[in-house]
Structure 1
């Protein structure tokens, strides 16, 4: 089992909790309503003929298996008790790396309210608390909204990764951002809240 998993993380109305099979109806409704908003940033298969998109159930079972094997922490993001997005800590590696990467999406209806920066800060702090050293986030250069999340939180830009992931039907460049535990000794959530006068 992943160290520190399962876990529920909370700050005010923003909650990160494990993704469940019984979230299917609410998850599908949010995703359907946001299909056009999310399409340009969605992972796709380079071989769509042999690799159909997974069903919700298949996705959850795969993520839960990875969590049991210590490789991921799949969260839903709740705001005010409603499911508004998803955040996954993936690629967890221990040994000499002690790192992971974070991916996320949020409902367009609540974008810009500080929900995703808060969620990413909570997840990053949890990663550091369980002994990980580095958190990485990779974002398409055109994804201005997602880039604002890492900029607000002070993630360090590390450069361009050409043709990094197959997204929206083609291999897409990504910008890489990271943060290490030493860079936020006070905690990323505390720094984020202090920067906004919420502390």
Structure 2
């Protein structure tokens, strides 16, 4: 997977050597992200989470299989790059559906600056132009106003609601679905 770039923002696969940056940004943002983060229901809770290295191996396997593309969001600052978040084009399905969904998180110190919206637009463009997807969804909790703004600013339209859709912060949570369709695929 090549990197995707929009001025000072670069989306690229997370590598083994990114562990210190990933650990640091996740540690600083643990409390801020926890209300929105996926958790595992009780039936899955006995399976241990992978190590960072196991996670990177799994992410790379999913990219190669074109099932899920998870990328770090990097910001160029003073001739170096800073990890400021992560974005995933997941659940990629070809055939009759030809769709996927986007999920993301951003370092609180870089929130509300348009970086997440730019990352969503960049990954959506890749999904439409390179993968030739027909539709991409963003599913988010109705009370997540910041994420709603990202979806709308990225050109996604509210489609509807999904009750008890994902296990988030320890329980099944309602979500609303924003959708963008590829205007080139009819």
| TM-score using structure 1 length | 0.86
Matches within 5 A, 1:115-134: 115-130=115-130, 131-134=132-135
| TM-score using structure 2 length | 0.92
Partner of 2:171: 170
Residues 142-199 of structure 1: CA distance to partner in whole angstroms, max 9, x if unpaired?
1111111001122111111000010100000111111011189xxxxxxxxxxxxxxx
Partner of 2:72: 76
Task: Measure the CA separation in 2 of the matches of 1:101 and 1:124.
Answer: 9
Q: Is the 8 A contact 1:45 1:51 kept in 2?
A: no
In structure 2, list runs of 5 or more residues that go unmatched.
none
Q: Is the 8 A contact 1:46 1:170 kept in 2?
A: yes
Residues 3-38 of structure 1: CA distance to partner in whole angstroms, max 9, x if unpaired?
xxx021111111111111221110010000000110
Residues 23-68 of structure 1: CA distance to partner in whole angstroms, max 9, x if unpaired?
1110010000000110001111112641333322222221111111
Partner of 1:154: 155
1:22 and 2:23 correspond = no
Change (3 A) 1:36 1:183: farther
RMSD between aligned alpha carbons? 1.5
Greater shift, 121-130 or 16-25, is seen at 16-25
Classify the secondary structure of the residue corresponding to 1:34. Answer: helix
The structure in which a higher percent of residues are strand is: 2
Runs of 4+ that moved beyond 3 A: none
In structure 1, list runs of 5 or more residues that go unmatched.
1-5, 185-199
